[in-house]
Amino acid sequence: MNAEPASTEEPSSAVQNLEHHECWAMLRTVSVGRLAIVVDGRPDIFPINYTVDGGTVVFRTGEGTKLSGASGDSPVALEADGVDPSTGMAWSVVLKGTSAVVRGTEEVLDTARLYLFPWQAGHKDAFVRVTPDSVTGRRFKVTDPLTWWTQHSSAAKSSPE
Amino acid sequence: MNAEPASTEEPSSAVQNLEHHECWAMLRTVSVGRLAIVVDGRPDIFPINYTVDGGTVVFRTGEGTKLSGASGDSPVALEADGVDPSTGMAWSVVLKGTSAVVRGTEEVLDTARLYLFPWQAGHKDAFVRVTPDSVTGRRFKVTDPLTWWTQHSSAAKSSPE
């Protein structure tokens, strides 16, 4: 299974790495990301609604979910992305670190003050803070920006005969 | 389906599980997802551009990337989501399974025939197929559908007061 086909160096030329401050700036432009966690050695992934809070990211989740279980300094990876349809430039930022449930009245009060869109209209009462070890980002050209954000028509799926 | 217009106290009632066929139908409506893998026991996550292919999902990636490394029957989780701004109903589908690089001329040719948007304008020549063990999906009301897909203004980030 380790067949190594063609080395196609140079995909990098189309990809720009983002500076650290650019990563944070991009993270602040959207509020929905996806969080990856490891459960029994296998990856799991969830959409989350987050807010940047001073070098960390905070999100809300329902009690008793896997995410509130992803509490005790669990390793996590959070990805957010977006695209500028006018330029066709997309970006993707990945934050790797650990997550912990926000505890203690003061910290919760602080966190509750954050502007957090509930990504789901149910009752949410756990806040989880992700403290990053690393934040990396890339900017790249997408051939069809619309396919990034919008649901595309069936034309996209029909196999070209 | 059992369209239940969300009571705000019961998170469960606000969330509908999708039927298996609905999950696949939703997966076909978009082309961008995020793939979670495990690297050295820690999660990593990448945006991918995928296509549904007969009960599997196929995506392209650059050679030499971590994703083409996520080849030998690695456990993966793929998530895709979307929202209908007119109804405020969002959906999220998670496919868990294993990924393997597509090898062999015939299989590659078959796969290349699939309509795949290159999510990045660089040279891409590895195809990875994700074969699911499980596919689950949920539909839920979002309080502000726009925050799902669009970049929101700075109003969302400015801390109150």
Cα dihedral sign, B150-B154-B155-B156: positive
Query: Tens digit of pLDDT for each residue in A140-153?
Result: 877 655 444 444 33
* Residue B70: burial class (beta carbons within 10 Å; 0-12, 13-18, 19+): buried
* CA dist A105 → A42, A126, A128, A140, B1 (Å): 34, 12, 14, 42, 41
Q: What is the pLDDT of residue A65?
A: 62
CB spacing of A142 vs B119 below 8 angstroms: yes
Considering only CB atoms, A34 lies closest to which of B79, B82, B159, namely B79
What is the spatial distance between Cα A46 and Cα B34, in angstroms, rounded to a whole number? 10
Tell me the shortest Cα–Cα distance from A104 to chain B, in angstroms: 21
Q: How high is the mean pLDDT of chain A? A: 73
Determine how many CB atoms are found less than 10 A away from the CB of residue A29. 18
ipTM: 0.75
CB spacing of A30 vs B62 below 8 angstroms: no
How much of chain A, in percent, has pLDDT values that exceed 70?
A: 59
CATH class of B11-143: mainly beta
Q: What is the pLDDT of residue B84?
A: 79
Considering only CB atoms, A156 lies closest to which of B31, B47, B82, namely B31
C-alpha dihedral over A97, A99, A102, A103, to 10 degrees? -110
Which segments within A9-156 are labelled E, that is strand? 15-17, 32-39, 42-53, 56-61, 74-84, 89-101, 126-141
* Residue B88: burial class (beta carbons within 10 Å; 0-12, 13-18, 19+): middle
Per-residue pLDDT of chain B (161 residues; tens, 9 = 90+): 444 444 444 444 568 999 999 999 999 988 889 999 998 889 999 888 888 988 999 887 766 666 655 667 789 999 999 887 788 788 999 999 999 888 765 566 565 555 554 555 455 567 888 999 999 999 987 765 545 444 433 333 333 33
CB spacing of B10 vs A160 below 8 angstroms: no
Cα distance from N-terminal residue to C-terminal residue, chain A: 31
What is the spatial distance between Cα B60 and Cα B36, in angstroms, rounded to a whole number? 15
What is the spatial distance between Cα A41 and Cα B82, in angstroms, rounded to a whole number? 28
Q: What is the mean pLDDT of residues A77-98?
A: 90
Q: Per-domain residue ranges for chain B?
A: 11-143
How much of chain A, in percent, has pLDDT values that exceed 90?
A: 32
Q: Which helix (H) or strand (E) holds A69?
A: helix A66-69
Task: Match domain A16-143 to its CATH number in 3.10.110.10, 3.40.30.10, 2.30.110.10, 3.40.50.300.
Answer: 2.30.110.10
Note the Cα A46 to chain centre separation in Å.
9
Q: What is the pLDDT of residue B114?
A: 55
Q: In this complex, how many residue pairs, one in chain A and one in chain B, have their CB atoms less than 8 Å apart?
A: 220
- φ/ψ region of B73 (left if φ > 0, alpha if ψ in -120 to 50, else beta) reads left
Q: Which residue in A has a C-alpha nearest to residue B32's C-alpha? A: A148
Query: Tens digit of pLDDT for each residue in A15-62?
Result: 899 999 999 999 998 888 999 999 888 999 988 888 898 899 988 776
What is the spatial distance between Cα B118 and Cα B31, in angstroms, rounded to a whole number? 10
The DSSP code for A12 is G
Instruction: Yes or no: say if A68 and A128 are a contact pair by the CB < 8 Å rule.
Output: yes
CB spacing of A14 vs B122 below 8 angstroms: yes
Give the SS3 label for residue A27: helix
Tell me the Cα Rg of chain A.
18
Phi and psi at residue B53, to the nearest 5°? -135, 95
Q: Which helix (H) or strand (E) holds B83?
A: strand B74-84
Determine how many CB atoms are found less than 10 A away from the CB of residue A158. 9
Residues of B with Cβ-Cβ distance to A3 under 8 angstroms: 101, 103
Chosen from B34, B138, B144 to mutate, greatest number of chain A CBs within 10 A: B34
Chosen from B27, B45, B113, B143 to mutate, greatest number of chain A CBs within 10 A: B45
